Amino acid sequence: MSGLIDIIENDGIKFILSGGKGGVGKTSVAGALAVLSAQRGLRTLVLSTDPAHSLSDSFDQDLSGGEIIPIKGFENLWGMEINTEKGMEEFQKNLGEGAAGPDMAMASSLLGDVGGMSPPGSDEAMAFGKILEFIEDSSYDRVIFDTAPTGHTLKLLELPELLDSWLGKILTLRQRLGSMMSGLRSMMGGAEQEDNAWEMLQVTKEKIRAARIELSDSEVTQFVVVSIAEAMSVFETQRLLGSLNSWNIPATNLIINQLIPANPDCRFCSSRRNMQQTNLVDIRDLFNDLHITEVPLFETEIRGIEGLTELGKILIGEK
Ligand SMILES: Nc1ncnc2c1ncn2[C@@H]1O[C@H](COP(=O)(O)OP(=O)(O)O)[C@@H](O)[C@H]1O
Ligand SMILES: [Mg+2]
């Protein structure tokens, strides 16, 4: 199994996702991996899909404007915090009402209830929409996702399946209603516009299929799980890895962050260190099929390019 350095140096890896419990260091890791990728010469984009953004804070630069922004000090690194509210409107306009609107409105008035036909919504859908965009986009060699804490990210990754089945349902209904609709449509006009809308749904469905293939290819996508050496984080790691596994999302690397260095003069530090080291033994045993990278607790918080570069060196074993 390959370590983080192998992921960074494998130029075929287009998507790296960083995930785990809140506060463990997901954003710092995403930032550090982005800096490493850019230093390697790859055109790199780092995106935050966590509604509680901290990418701006981590890079010490405002990335919240809803647009992709060049990161200072680099010519090949860009970043953006995905504005889920604004994006959600776009997404629903595209996928939901806009596309399904006229026909579905007609269908519901004819059939009464077309329950379950509203698109699976929320932040995750939005974030996934962005993933879809970048899967096709060749402007970037690598896209790094700073994901939200586990539950939220699991919903995001579950989404291709949900969307696929939702679109399947809606397209089947469309077929069943086809002849009836074409009659009604020609009576009421606007056929062309609707066909475009349906075509778009069909295209979206194909894009989702393609995304599922890319996201499950270990030569294209790697999900890096971040944890700390505490029981609660370990439980969450197990849960996350189980789900990633069931959706075939490649995850071969685990980072154990914020490990307290040995310090015989500080009793408090020593006792926390002992607790962590005990947990670390269990972690190595529990996740013996993963490549584990240990990261010490820094003396200061990790902020700005300098801090992220420092963390990057540790991640690839240079320090
Ligand atoms: N190894 C570390 N040493 C010192 N501070 C760290 C370390 N890892 C993360 N931090 C700090 O902990 C806080 C949370 O980290 P962050 O990467 O934002 O976590 P998450 O994205 O998982 O919520 C930040 O202030 C960050 O600077
Ligand atoms: Mg974060």
Q: CA 39, 36, 29: angle at the middle one, nearest 5? A: 155
How much of the chain is in helix, strand and coil states, percent to nearest 5?
Answer: 55, 15, 30
Q: Which atom of ligand 1 is nearest to the CA of 258?
A: 1
Task: Answer whether 104's CB lies under 8 Å from 184's CB.
Answer: no
Q: Where are the alpha helices (DSSP H) in 112-258?
A: 122-136, 150-188, 191-215, 231-246
Asked whether 261 lines ligand 1 (CB < 6 A), one says no
Lowest average pLDDT, out of 13-27, 101-115, 128-142, 143-157, goes to 101-115
Q: For residue 79, what pLDDT is reported?
A: 96
The whole-angstrom separation of Cα 64 and Cα 52 is 11
Residue keyed to tokens 């820094």: 298
Closest listed residue to residue 138, CA positions, set 2, 34, 43: 43
The whole-angstrom separation of Cα 7 and Cα 14 is 10
Asked whether 302 lines ligand 1 (CB < 6 A), one says yes
What's the average model confidence in pLDDT over 111-133? 56
Task: Answer whether 87's CB lies under 8 Å from 129's CB.
Answer: yes
Provide CB contacts within 8 A for 251, sequence distance 6+. Answer: 222, 223, 224, 225, 241, 244, 245, 290
| Nearest-CA residue for atom 6 of ligand 1 | 301
Ion ligand 2: residues, CB within 5 A, are: 26-27, 54
Q: Which two tokens stand for residue 33?
A: 């991996």
Using the mean position of ligand 1's atoms as its centre, give its distance from the Cα of residue 24 in Å. 6
Q: For residue 85, what pLDDT is reported?
A: 60
Q: For residue 147, what pLDDT is reported?
A: 85
The DSSP H or E segment spanning 87 is helix 84-91
Residue keyed to tokens 């965009």: 133
Asked whether 24 lines ligand 1 (CB < 6 A), one says yes
More confident residue, 128 or 115: 128
Q: Per DSSP, what are the bridge partners of residue 47?
A: 80, 145
Residue keyed to tokens 């390697």: 40
The whole-angstrom separation of Cα 268 and Cα 248 is 42
Using the mean position of ligand 2's atoms as its centre, give its distance from the Cα of residue 123 in Å. 15
Asked whether 150 lines ligand 1 (CB < 6 A), one says no
pTM of the full predicted structure?
Answer: 0.83
Asked whether 102 lines ligand 1 (CB < 6 A), one says no
Q: Which two tokens stand for residue 119?
A: 């698109």
Q: Which two tokens stand for residue 103?
A: 């026909």
State yes or no: pLDDT of 206 exceeds 60: yes
Lowest average pLDDT, out of 155-159, 223-227, 312-316, goes to 155-159
Domain range 4-85+219-315, CATH class: alpha beta
| Nearest-CA residue for atom 25 of ligand 1 | 301
Asked whether 301 lines ligand 1 (CB < 6 A), one says yes
Amino acid, res. 311: L
What's the average model confidence in pLDDT over 134-154? 81
State yes or no: pLDDT of 208 exceeds 50: yes
Tell me which of 226, 302, 305 to substitute to probe ligand 1's pocket, judged by most ligand atoms within 8 Å of the beta carbon. Answer: 302
Task: Answer whether 290's CB lies under 8 Å from 252's CB.
Answer: yes
Using the mean position of ligand 1's atoms as its centre, give its distance from the Cα of residue 297 in Å. 9
Using the mean position of ligand 2's atoms as its centre, give its distance from the Cα of residue 118 in Å. 30
State yes or no: pLDDT of 190 exceeds 70: no
State yes or no: pLDDT of 282 exceeds 70: yes
Helix axes 150-188, 122-136, angle to 10 degrees: 80
Say what percent of the chain tops pLDDT 90.
53
Residue keyed to tokens 């077929």: 175
Amino acid, res. 106: M
Q: For residue 108, what pLDDT is reported?
A: 42
Task: At 169, give phi and psi (nearest 5°).
Answer: -60, -45
Q: Which ligand is nearest to the CA of 224?
A: 1
Asked whether 54 lines ligand 1 (CB < 6 A), one says yes
Q: Which atom of ligand 1 is nearest to the CA of 50?
A: 21
Asked whether 295 lines ligand 1 (CB < 6 A), one says yes
Chain centre distance of CA 55: 14
What's the average model confidence in pLDDT over 102-123? 47
| Nearest-CA residue for atom 5 of ligand 1 | 301
Closest listed residue to residue 34, CA positions, set 136, 141, 132: 141
Asked whether 19 lines ligand 1 (CB < 6 A), one says no
What's the average model confidence in pLDDT over 121-142? 74
**pLDDT-based confidence at 271, cuts 50/70/90?**
very high
What's the average model confidence in pLDDT over 178-188? 64
Q: 37-83 pLDDT, tens per residue?
A: 999 999 999 999 877 889 999 999 999 988 899 999 999 999 999 87
